[in-house]
Chains A and B, each alone.
Chain A
Amino acid sequence: MSMLKLGIPSKGRLQEQTVDWFGERKIAVQRTGSDRQYSGKVIGVEGIELVLLSAGEIPKELAAGRIHLGVTGTDLVQEKIAGWQNVVLEVEPLGFGHANLIVAVPAGWVDVVTIDDLDAVAAQFRSEHGFRLRIATKYHGLVRRFLSDQGVADYQLVDSQGATEGVVKNLTAEAIADITSSGATLQANGLRILADGLVLRSQATVFASRVAEWDTGALAGLASLSQKTGWDIDGALR
């Protein structure tokens, strides 16, 4: 019989906290084989197949229906899945992996406190420099939607997959939109978060795929998991 496929992060703090979270609910998630192998199993609940994936891969696997449930950040789901509400169901926020996607500018820009200021400065910058003010980010979809909803003009997004705090110093962007948990790194790099520059509040969350095949086996696995977690999503997935 088919099983319910549960995807969890394959490494790091996010994996530890996920394992702990399930452990507190008497669901023992164990790695099998050596520590370097990306496989594992669930003890104490029948009909679950564990899939270890990088947190960034989990949204894609959910959207493809290759896993039924997955633990990953809200930011990644909303960034990577177009029309995510139709593709996945938010089952439960897990209370860890908190991170905010924010817009930040150089601390020395005393005249820029809000998104409204950023918009005005974008116009000034474009007429001064002849090109659109550059905002570096890896969250293109989320940031574009946010700025478009806010009616910001005359900016462009430039891609930055890592060390985004450094781009202003390197003159490759004028502002950034990035994930931060405390803001300390930003501060150390001479950047300041805009007062209304919160794009998204993200945390580790269990998502269910709406497009995966929820056959009898998968539903049976879900039922035994739900007994321990108290989830009630069966109806929403059928």
Chain B
Amino acid sequence: MKNDRRARIREESDRLSDAFVAAGALPVETDSLLPADVLLDLYGEDIRARAFVTHDSGMGEQVLRPDFTVPIVQRHMAEGAEPARYTYNGPVWRKGARASAGGSEYIQVGYELFDRENPGEADAEVFALFADTLKDHDLRVATGDIGILLAAISALNTTDRRKAALRRHVWRPGRFIRLLERFGGLSEPLEHRADLMVQIAVKGVEVVLEEAGPVQGLRSEAEILDRIKVLQEDAKAPPITGEEVEMLETVLDLKGTGGEVLKRLRELAEVFPALGESVSRMETRNAALGAKGVDAAALPFEVNFGRTTLEYYDGFVFGFFAENRPDLPVVASGGRYDALTRVLGHGRSIAAVGGVIRPEALLSVAGVV
């Protein structure tokens, strides 16, 4: 019986894969064991909690492929000309998955598009393809755009360092809010920080360092002095105004149909012109979606959507969920991940948008398996 289930899933994944090939994608295969250092550098310790890390005395640490992003992007960087479309169809392994959600091994069928010329068109192409491929199923759609939040950070009238700190924690909402409150002067001032500043002012930084004890390890005294300078500058910088903190919180809470959110965003952009670019990006994308028969104004849209996934999306994001089936994992999801490719490309940027479908979840929705 078990083999019947596998055969059905294989059949479904091949069908999905054919649809992606028909859309112009090149089918690619990748290794199942990936070098751990690249993934650790990219995702950090989270990867150890979410992926199976294994060890070989010759090859060192290896990771059982938790998704296809890294091998596909690497392959593209090595040999791809743009625009390029790839599709893949194979198992991934994730730790801690509930058995009811398909367990720790499951198939992903994906479509990735690398095209730096027309990001709005590219976003629309991927979403429209997924919407069309999944059209026979009763699924709830969610969309969002983390680029709006990034634009709102850029719109703040504060130091570049604070903006960089906020941008760095876009994917960690708890710390993001704590930072925002601190920069906005809304949380208690840090006593230990104030103490340090007073001590440095009174005794001089050399004495403070000497009294504290030895500086050991790779982080040098010069690095400590650099950060103290940063802290001193930050102490002088005025807090982010209440109006701007409120703007950022409003942006974070934006939720509704694509049409409603766009309208609210236009209003905000009149006060904060730096948001204008994200408005025009959304308009371009919506027009491109419209040309492909998707009514973007009617799609559910939420700025906060997709902030806590492993993928570190930084632009348009989408998900397809099984309504009334909280036991099932997300059936399909995807988005733009330019920031991730920038890390993989060591600064070389590659515009990338893509998504995956879990065929077994799709079959469960249809009641087949």
Q: Which residues of A contact B (CB under 8 A)?
A: 106-111, 113-114, 116, 119-121, 123-125, 128-129, 131-132, 140, 144-145, 147-157, 168-169, 171, 173-174, 190, 192, 195
Chain A residues with Cβ below 8 Å from B193 are 113
Q: Please, how many angstroms separate the alpha-carbon atoms of A127 and B209 in the complex? A: 23
CB-contacts of B199-246 with A (<8 A):
208-209, 212-219, 221, 223-224, 226-228, 231
Pairs A-B, 9 closest by C-beta atoms: A151-B175, A107-B213, A108-B215, A151-B172, A168-B217, A113-B192, A110-B212, A111-B227, A190-B214
A146 → B minimal CB distance (Å): 11
Taking a contact as CB atoms under 8 Å apart, the answer to whether A156 and B219 are in contact is no
Chain B residues with Cβ below 8 Å from A109 are 212, 215, 219, 224
Taking a contact as CB atoms under 8 Å apart, the answer to whether A128 and B49 are in contact is no
Taking a contact as CB atoms under 8 Å apart, the answer to whether A155 and B216 are in contact is no
Q: Does B44 contact A (CB under 8 A)?
A: yes
Instruction: Specify which of A120, A121, A149 is in contact with B219 (CB 8 Å cutoff).
Output: A121
Q: Which residues of B contact A (CB under 8 A)?
A: 40-41, 44-46, 48-49, 165, 168-169, 172, 174-176, 178, 190, 192-193, 196, 208-209, 212-219, 221, 223-224, 226-228, 231
- Supposing A114-B192, A168-B217, A171-B218 touch, asked if A108 and B223 sit within 8 A by C-beta, the answer is no
- Supposing A107-B213, A121-B227, A156-B40 touch, asked if A174 and B169 sit within 8 A by C-beta, the answer is no
Taking a contact as CB atoms under 8 Å apart, the answer to whether B218 and A120 are in contact is no
Taking a contact as CB atoms under 8 Å apart, the answer to whether B41 and A131 are in contact is yes
Closest residue of B by beta carbon distance from A140: B48
A117 → B minimal CB distance (Å): 8
Closest residue of A by beta carbon distance from B196: A110
Chain A residues with Cβ below 8 Å from B178 are 116, 151
Instruction: Specify which of B44, B196, B217, B218 is in contact with A154 (CB 8 Å cutoff).
Output: B44
Which of B193, B218, B221, B223 has the most chain A CB within a 10 Å cutoff?
A: B218
Q: List 29 A-B contacts (CB under 8 A).
A: A106-B215, A106-B216, A107-B214, A108-B209, A108-B214, A108-B216, A108-B221, A109-B215, A110-B209, A110-B224, A111-B228, A113-B192, A113-B193, A113-B196, A114-B192, A120-B165, A121-B219, A121-B227, A125-B223, A148-B45, A151-B175, A155-B44, A156-B40, A156-B44, A157-B48, A168-B217, A169-B217, A171-B218, A174-B217
- Supposing A106-B214, A111-B224, A131-B41 touch, asked if A195 and B169 sit within 8 A by C-beta, the answer is no
Chain A residues with Cβ below 8 Å from B209 are 108, 110
Taking a contact as CB atoms under 8 Å apart, the answer to whether B44 and A132 are in contact is yes
Q: Please, how many angstroms separate the alpha-carbon atoms of A123 and B172 in the complex? A: 14
Chain A residues with Cβ below 8 Å from B46 are 148
- Supposing A107-B212, A125-B219 touch, asked if A144 and B192 sit within 8 A by C-beta, the answer is no
Q: Please, how many angstroms separate the alpha-carbon atoms of A45 and B169 in the complex? A: 57
Chain A residues with Cβ below 8 Å from B49 are 144-145, 148
A111 → B minimal CB distance (Å): 5
Closest residue of A by beta carbon distance from B222: A128
Instruction: Specify which of A128, A147, A192 is in contact with B45 (CB 8 Å cutoff).
Output: A147
Q: Please, how many angstroms separate the alpha-carbon atoms of A154 and B221 in the complex? A: 20
- Supposing A111-B228, A123-B168, A151-B174 touch, asked if A106 and B45 sit within 8 A by C-beta, the answer is no
B180 → A minimal CB distance (Å): 12
Closest residue of B by beta carbon distance from A125: B219
Chain B residues with Cβ below 8 Å from A173 are 217
B308 → A minimal CB distance (Å): 11
Taking a contact as CB atoms under 8 Å apart, the answer to whether B223 and A168 are in contact is no
Which of B41, B227, B228 has the most chain A CB within a 10 Å cutoff?
A: B227
Q: Please, how many angstroms separate the alpha-carbon atoms of A125 and B178 in the complex? A: 22
Q: Please, how many angstroms separate the alpha-carbon atoms of A123 and B175 in the complex? A: 14
Q: Please, how many angstroms separate the alpha-carbon atoms of A94 and B99 in the complex? A: 36
Closest residue of B by beta carbon distance from A173: B217
Taking a contact as CB atoms under 8 Å apart, the answer to whether B44 and A106 are in contact is no
Closest residue of B by beta carbon distance from A171: B218
Instruction: Specify which of A120, A140, A174 is in contact with B227 (CB 8 Å cutoff).
Output: A120
Taking a contact as CB atoms under 8 Å apart, the answer to whether B228 and A144 are in contact is no
Q: Please, how many angstroms separate the alpha-carbon atoms of A181 and B190 in the complex? A: 28
Taking a contact as CB atoms under 8 Å apart, the answer to whether B227 and A119 are in contact is no
Taking a contact as CB atoms under 8 Å apart, the answer to whether B168 and A106 are in contact is no
Chain A residues with Cβ below 8 Å from B214 are 106-108, 190
Taking a contact as CB atoms under 8 Å apart, the answer to whether B223 and A124 are in contact is yes
Q: Please, how many angstroms separate the alpha-carbon atoms of A168 and B212 in the complex? A: 16
Chain B residues with Cβ below 8 Å from A140 are 48
Closest residue of B by beta carbon distance from A190: B214
Taking a contact as CB atoms under 8 Å apart, the answer to whether A153 and B169 are in contact is yes
Q: Please, how many angstroms separate the alpha-carbon atoms of A147 and B174 in the complex? A: 12
16 additional contacts (CB under 8 A) given A151-B176, A155-B44, A174-B219: A106-B216, A107-B212, A108-B212, A108-B221, A109-B224, A124-B226, A125-B218, A131-B41, A144-B45, A148-B46, A151-B174, A151-B175, A151-B178, A153-B169, A155-B45, A190-B214
Chain A residues with Cβ below 8 Å from B218 are 125, 129, 171, 174
Chain B residues with Cβ below 8 Å from A114 are 190, 192
B103 → A minimal CB distance (Å): 15
Chain B residues with Cβ below 8 Å from A119 are 175
- Supposing A110-B209, A111-B228, A153-B44 touch, asked if A128 and B216 sit within 8 A by C-beta, the answer is no
Instruction: Specify which of B41, B168, B172, B196 is in contact with A111 (CB 8 Å cutoff).
Output: B196
B190 → A minimal CB distance (Å): 8
Q: Please, how many angstroms separate the alpha-carbon atoms of A79 and B213 in the complex? A: 32
A157 → B minimal CB distance (Å): 6
B272 → A minimal CB distance (Å): 26
Chain B residues with Cβ below 8 Å from A123 are 165, 168
